[in-house]
Structure formats: structure tokens, C-alpha cells
């Protein structure tokens, strides 16, 4: 059984991934010198979401996350919308991971490299190979070491300009600040992994909430330090214009020899997260197919390898299409919208918990729900329009299917 330290490690490993290598540039473009405030808002919303998820997981200890919580607490439609939002949001997240890998490894070949990564890791999942918890911990240690090196040369070098950290200058507007917070929220994704550990930890009622708080606080500090290093060296404009911000930070700090180390860290973070994401999304697709919400064709399990092979191939193909269709910043915005929609339903489901069901303090799901809605609709307009259209299309498919079922049974 896992203790608090183990649960914190698992949660931190799920959160610290490709996002930290990519998200600060578009966030700085939106928020400017108010980047710090946006980071605090994103962390607060993430905490509320994780707490609501943990309390719901204790009441519904089965796989599926908010797909299950929404169905049981709000009705079948909301469970379906949660599953649909998770799938489309995480498909875009997979594209972010792949594009981050390609951008750091070879910017001029970023898309071909990203597609190759998706194809290769889809094949790994197809064959039944899985990333172990031990490997996740090794990846976390390696990525943290890389981030520590970036922070050290950024904040400790002669090129550092602490004046860049001041929250001053042009007010980015409410939409600019909240749009940045929505993008930074993407970098905290993964905290829900702690909420799913109910059967694997000692005293889950106390261990899971404590681990969530510690993991989020730790990751928040890491992100603060990394953002500070990038800002002091590159400045707000330089960070906003960067395509590979952490690599450009070490170059500007006078340590170009560290670029291969940063590239290796980005590759480890991106590919490790991509492997886990393809695995998770394909299982959600297979579960929805088994329930009849998607074509049952995708629910099939491979006789030899034991995985939902058709769902895995379909997810891999969708990710490749997203990689070829959008850039990194567009994928971050679209992913954030889908995931925020998912957690909106999580918090709404938590509001339906009764006092005898270890309901969180009312402020937590209320702030989480309101925060998700506000951040989602403060994202760049193209992300909002595309995300809302895809989710609406999913709801329309559900309604059409139910209408056909009723007509067939009449």
C-alpha cells in the first residue's frame, strides 16, 4: 500500500510533463507581467478540481472518472459529455506532447517528428507494454533535474534581470489574464491521478487530500521558479515570442552547452506523458464504446495483447491529424477548453454529494465550477469556438442516438 510520499510522487509525476516546457510562452503573450497572477489562479482552480475528484472517487470507486460521476450524479447526458470532453481534450493534449517533443528536438522537423512519436508510442501501447510507476518516478527525477539546471543558470547567471519579475506595466485585461490562467491550467493536468488511488493507499480518506495539497503546492513552486528563470533572462517579450522557451533560456543565460540536456528533458517529459495519455484516452474511448456511446467496434479487446487495439489505433490516428492541422499554441488552447469542460462537470457532480458522503466544503466545488467556466471561455477565441463546436457536436450525436432508439422501440 502506498503512503503519502508515494501518492505525492505519483501525482507530481503526472503533472510535471511537457506543459512546463511549452506553456509559459503563450501564457506570457496573453498575461505579460501578470503571469504570476495567472499561475496562482490556475493552481487554485486545479486544487478545487482535484479535491472534488477525490471526494467523488471515494464514492464511485470504478474506472471512468467524471464519465461515471456525471452519469451517476447528474444524468446520462452529462456523463457522456464529460467522457466526450475528456476524449477530445486529451487527444489535443497528446498532440501538445508530440509537438513539444518535435519542437525541442528539431524545430524545422517538428511535425514529422511528432507524427513519428505518436505512431511509435501507439505501437508500444498496442503491443501491451505499459509505463510502470517506477519508470514514472525515474522520469520525474530526470525532468526535475533538468528544470533545476534551467532555474540555476537562469536565476544565478549574470544575464538575469530581476526587474523583469515585477508585476507592472500594461494591464492585460481580464480576458488576457484569465486566458493565460486557462493555458497554465493545462500544465497542472494530471492531478486527478491522485484521486484514483483510493484502493492503493493507506487511509485514503486522509492520505489522498493531503497528497493532493502537497503535490499541487510542490508543482506550483517548481513552475514559479521555472517561470522566474525564463522571465529574468528572456524578458516578457522574448518569452512570449519563444518557440522552445527553456532551451532559449539557457542559451540567453550563456549556457548553450545545456541545450542538449534541456532537449533530453523535454523529450523524456513529452514522450512519457504521451505514452500514458494514449493509453488513458484509448481506454476511455473503449469504455464509451462498450456503453454504446461510441461505435461498439472500438470496444474490441485484442485476444493476444489484451488491450483495446481498435480504440488505440483510432486515437493514434486522431492525434496525428491534430498534429498536422494545428500549431502548438492552438493545441494547448483546444486541450485546455476540453479539460476545463470536463472538470466543470466534475465540480457540478461534487455539488450533488450529501453531507454524509464526505462532501468537500461548498466553496471548493462552487469555485472550481465557476473557475472552469470562466477560464474556458476566456481562452483565445479560436480555441473557444472549436472546443464548443466539438462538444456540441458530441451532445448532438448523443441526442440523435437516443431519438433513434426511442423511435426504434416505439
Q: How do the pLDDT tens digits run along the chain, 410 residues long?
A: 667 787 788 778 778 877 889 899 999 999 888 898 999 999 999 999 988 988 888 787 766 778 888 989 999 899 999 989 988 998 998 999 999 999 998 888 999 999 999 998 888 777 765 555 566 678 888 999 999 999 999 998 777 788 787 777 677 888 889 999 999 998 888 777 676 665 566 777 777 778 888 888 999 999 999 999 999 999 888 999 998 899 999 999 999 999 999 999 998 888 888 887 887 788 778 888 887 778 888 888 877 777 788 888 899 999 999 999 888 888 999 999 999 999 999 999 999 998 888 788 999 999 999 999 999 999 999 999 999 999 999 999 888 888 888 887 66
Domain that holds residue 135: 4-403
Residues 63 and 283: beta-carbon distance below 8 Å = yes
Residue 2 pairs in a beta bridge with 201
List, in sequence order, the alpha helices (H) in 157-203: 173-188, 192-195
In-domain check, residue 409: no
Residue 247: closest CA among 229, 263, 232, 269: 263
What does DSSP assign to residue 295?
-
In-domain check, residue 82: yes
The SS3 of residue 20 is helix
This prediction has a pTM of 0.87
In-domain check, residue 190: yes
Question: What's the structural domain count of the chain?
Answer: 1
The SS3 of residue 201 is strand
The SS3 of residue 164 is helix
In-domain check, residue 253: yes
In-domain check, residue 408: no
In-domain check, residue 410: no
In-domain check, residue 219: yes
In-domain check, residue 314: yes
For the domain that residue 319 is a member of, what is the CATH number?
A: 1.20.1740.10
Amino acid at each position: 500500500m502506498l503512503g503519502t510520499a508515494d501518492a505525492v510522487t505519483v501525482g507530481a509525476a503526472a503533472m510535471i510533463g511537457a506543459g512546463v516546457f511549452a506553456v509559459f510562452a503563450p501564457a506570457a503573450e496573453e498575461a505579460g507581467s501578470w503571469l504570476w497572477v495567472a499561475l496562482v489562479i490556475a493552481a487554485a482552480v486545479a486544487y478545487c478540481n482535484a479535491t472534488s475528484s477525490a471526494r467523488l472517487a471515494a464514492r464511485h470507486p470504478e474506472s471512468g472518472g467524471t464519465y461515471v460521476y456525471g452519469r451517476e450524479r447528474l444524468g446520462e447526458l452529462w456523463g457522456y459529455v464529460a467522457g466526450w470532453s475528456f476524449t477530445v481534450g486529451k487527444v489535443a493534449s497528446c498532440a501538445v506532447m508530440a509537438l513539444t517533443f518535435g519542437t525541442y528536438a528539431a524545430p524545422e522537423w517538428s511535425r514529422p517528428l511528432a507524427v513519428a512519436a505518436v505512431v511509435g508510442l501507439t505501437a508500444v501501447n498496442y503491443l501491451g507494454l505499459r509505463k510502470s510507476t517506477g519508470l514514472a518516478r525515474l522520469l520525474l527525477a530526470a525532468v526535475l533535474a533538468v528544470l533545476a539546471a534551467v532555474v540555476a543558470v537562469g536565476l544565478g547567471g549574470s544575464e538575469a534581470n530581476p526587474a523583469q519579475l515585477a508585476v507592472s506595466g500594461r494591464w492585460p485585461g481580464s480576458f488576457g489574464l484569465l486566458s493565460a490562467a486557462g493555458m497554465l491550467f493545462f500544465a497542472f493536468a494530471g492531478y486527478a491521478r491522485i484521486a484514483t488511488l483510493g484502493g492503493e493507499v493507506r487511509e485514503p480518506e486522509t492520505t489522498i487530500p493531503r497528497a493532493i495539497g502537497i503535490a499541487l503546492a510542490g508543482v506550483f513552486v517548481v513552475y514559479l521558479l521555472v517561470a522566474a528563470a525564463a522571465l529574468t533572462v528572456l524578458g516578457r517579450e522574448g518569452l512570449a515570442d519563444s518557440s522552445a522557451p527553456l532551451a532559449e533560456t539557457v542559451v540567453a543565460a550563456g549556457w548553450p552547452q545545456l541545450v542538449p540536456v534541456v532537449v533530453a528533458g523535454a523529450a523524456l517529459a513529452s514522450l512519457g506523458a504521451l505514452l500514458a495519455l494514449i493509453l488513458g484516452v484509448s481506454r476511455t474511448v473503449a469504455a464509451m464504446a462498450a456503453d454504446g456511446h461510441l461505435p461498439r467496434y472500438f470496444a474490441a479487446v485484442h485476444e493476444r495483447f489484451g488491450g483495446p487495439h481498435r480504440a488505440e489505433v483510432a486515437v493514434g490516428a486522431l492525434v496525428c491529424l491534430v498534429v498536422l492541422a494545428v500549431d502548438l499554441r492552438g493545441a494547448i488552447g483546444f486541450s485546455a477548453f476540453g479539460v476545463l469542460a470536463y472538470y466543470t462537470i466534475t465540480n457540478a457532480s461534487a455539488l450533488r454529494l450529501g453531507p454524509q458522503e464526505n462532501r468537500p466544503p461548498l466553496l471548493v466545488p462552487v469555485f472550481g465550477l465557476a473557475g472552469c467556466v470562466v477560464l474556458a471561455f476566456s481562452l483565445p477565441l479560436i480555441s473557444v469556438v472549436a472546443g464548443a463546436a466539438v462538444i456540441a457536436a458530441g451532445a448532438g450525436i448523443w441526442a440523435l442516438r437516443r431519438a433513434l432508439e426511442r423511435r426504434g422501440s416505439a
